[in-house]
Structure 1
């Protein structure tokens, strides 16, 4: 069954996103893409066909409330693998979700100049109920699979430095990640010389809100900023969603991530502990953050970095560029992008 873009989505897509759409047919046992190459002065454009099947050993890489990530192999070259993220077009109330902005972010940051910071996409396709995004497969998985214990400070700074660099690019282009957490950071090579890439970026407000409600509903806070879950009135609007918390929400998430890497735990386990933090004095909040960091031997500059990110008021948090030039991250040595096998498959789609 061949598919065409639904009317509303197609009208909103930029030329860049439209060009990234893969000509696709869903066959009984595979997904087929057709590529056309009219270069070389040929009167008839060259035609290339690829068929992709679910990996027999590990067909599903992960799943969530909005869809599933599957591992696929190419029939024409079995060594080629890809991860395909399926995202449902409707939320749990059967309302249509607008993914145009999310697709723009994915295509924007799949350009070669951003390949060291972001998981690369190689096109997208759709059927009546879902959007599918073809991405590099990274065999080391996401960061959450590697956090068995607190990390040494030099390793924490390596990871945070790379995440901050990616967020600087996103914010410069007007995109918000909205969902920074270990499961959305892919590991290319692990310690002691970490290389990581950001995934699942620029998710829609509607998708984030639904997933946040699911998370808060079971009593956990995770990495969401207070204003993202309705605990702050000073929301910062940005881009196409006037009621959406802006760039500072990403910076809060980086602060929580830093605490997790240093201590092995997030600082706020539930709404009660977060609310207590929000209602405390500035001195009490700093003490809550600094005490566990000191116990792990964290430097004063790293403590200051985290305190500056976990400010209650969004407009008082350190911005992405400020974080990138912070004294703590300035000490991070350059980590080669090819320090080890990057664990990805080259998908020349």
Structure 2
């Protein structure tokens, strides 16, 4: 799946340079950030001799690749088979497929990255047999019209922690994904909500401190400013995309998406992002600093994946907080009996307050009040109090969702001549 020139045309296209020459034999990494060595055995037998392709809806499709569900005949296990064309727009792109295989091998130890099972090669295409994630893309929940189908804020926090764990693993191994978006993050199951799997490493690159890598690549509304400015990419480039992703998961709104691609790029380059959206006002306010520490123009100013994992917004992992309040020993005076009575026999209330009194035979009376405060940290969407308000909100969400669904993956790879900076 290789992008078109980003200066004109369909705003749903991706941009990157022409395919770089394959590295010399024996090199583990090319100057373009591509890995060239793999350990996986490439099978040349007919794929259908060993797998049955399940007829019906495809799991995914791009201009040069299609993903289908399949079943391994000898085990009955389900997998996702990614069929990738080796020749694209008259160019041999086999080395890019080899690079994707190498990155998947490198990420085998991470439970947050999809597993590679086998690889097959035919005359015109290669097939990557991948772990099957039955829950599909998180994109579906991000744009859900109905509140019960959308992510709650607690869902977002749990999934965001897992995304950051996967990205942190990749960054520790000098891999930048460069195309983090809801379509490239899958769920192991949808009901109950499963764990995430990061997929699609076709645009990923290896980075190192002693060599700069500059490329224009990614999905328009998720790309960082340095990509548009043709400045060096780094692990911080992914962190910008995570900031956009967090915004989308919480609100269902794509923060930089414009009417066309040029407006989208202008919004990114000028940091035109709103933090006053109604949907953001309904979530824990700690979420705003989290997003803001990622959507910063200068890469060096953005938080790392490890720093994000320590952010207060991601630390609240449960719905209930128990507070223990110790009351000083009760003095033997006239009002002590009424005070004791009020603690030991509390009236039921909406705050779920309970009390327990322990008295020692030979010591002063010590009372311990345990307050259990039950609350919800926040919801991604909240229902309105009146029917009319619900209808208005539903209409707004529908418009937002349709606008967001307009985004599709890029599909071609081509050098971008001339100026491409706003």
Match of 1:326 among 298, 311, 314: 311
Question: Based on CA coordinates, which of the two structures has the bigger radius of gyration?
Answer: 2
The alpha-carbon deviation at position 119 of structure 1 amounts to 1.3
**Equivalent in the alignment of 1:65:** 63
| Cα distance in structure 1, aligned partners of 2:197 and 2:51 | 25
Question: Once the 2 structures are TM-superposed, how far is the Cα of residue 301 of structure 1 from its aligned partner?
Answer: 1.7
Structure 1 residues 130-169: Cα deviation after superposition (integer angstroms, max 9, x where no partner): 2321111122211112330553321111111110110000
Is 2:301 aligned against 1:316?
yes
Q: Report the TM-score, using the length of structure 1 for normalisation.
A: 0.69
Distance 1:72 1:192 in 2: 23
Select between 189-198 and 174-183 the one with higher mean Cα deviation: 189-198
CA contact (8 A) 2:43 2:119 kept: no
Instruction: Indicate conservation of the 8 Å contact 2:178/2:217, yes or no.
Output: no
The answer to whether the aligner puts 1:291 opposite 2:276 as a matched pair is yes
Contact 1:176/1:250 (<8 A) preserved: yes
How many residue pairs match? The answer is 276
Q: State how far apart, in whole Å, the 1-side matches of 2:167 and 2:235 are.
A: 9
Structure number with the bigger relative contact order (C-alpha 8 A, sep ≥ 6) is 2
- CA 1:10–1:223 in 2, change beyond 3 Å: closer, same or farther? same
Unpaired runs of 5+ in structure 2?
A: 1-21, 30-34, 206-213, 320-422
Does residue 226 of the first structure (1) align with residue 243 of the second (2)? no
The match for 2:167 is 167
Partner deviation per Cα, 1:160-219 (whole Å, 9 max, x = no partner): 1110110000000111111111111111234775521111136356xx97974xx6xxxx
Kindly indicate whether the alpha-carbon contact (under 8 Å) linking 1:121 and 1:135 is maintained by their aligned counterparts in 2.
yes
Q: Unpaired runs of 5+ in structure 1? A: 1-6, 33-50, 216-220, 237-244, 335-349
Distance 1:24 1:96, change over 3 A: closer
User: For residue 250 of structure 2, what is the aligned residue in structure 1?
Assistant: 262
Q: What is the rounded CA distance, in whole Å, between the counterparts of 1:319 and 1:257 in structure 2?
A: 15
Q: Pick which of 312-321 and 167-176 moved more.
A: 312-321
Verify the 8 A CA contact 2:81 2:129 in the aligned structure 1. Answer: yes
- Asked if 1:136 is matched to 2:160, the reply is no
Matched residues in 2 for 1:277 and 1:145: separation?
24
Other-structure match for 1:249? 237
Paired position in structure 1 for 2:176: 176
For 2:87, the equivalent position in structure 1 comes to: 90
Cα deviation, 1:249-307, whole Å, max 9, x if unaligned, reads 11111111111111111101133254245336xxxx5xx43212664422232100101
Determine the structure 2 residue equivalent to 1:31: 48
SS in 2 for 1:98: helix
Contact 2:244–2:255 at 8 Å: present in 1 too? yes
Alignment partners' CA distance in 2, 1:211 and 1:246: 13
The residue number in structure 2 matching 1:345 is: none
Q: Contact 2:247/2:291 (CA < 8 Å) preserved in 1?
A: yes
How far apart are the structure 1 equivalents of 2:217 and 2:83? 16
CA contact (8 A) 1:262 1:293 kept: no
Per the alignment, do residues 246 and 88 of structure 1 end up closer, same or farther by CA in structure 2, a change over 3 Å counting? Answer: farther
Root mean square deviation, CA, Å: 3.2
Check whether the contact 1:53–1:74 (CA below 8 A) recurs between aligned residues. yes
| 8 A contact 2:251–2:279 mirrored in 1 | no
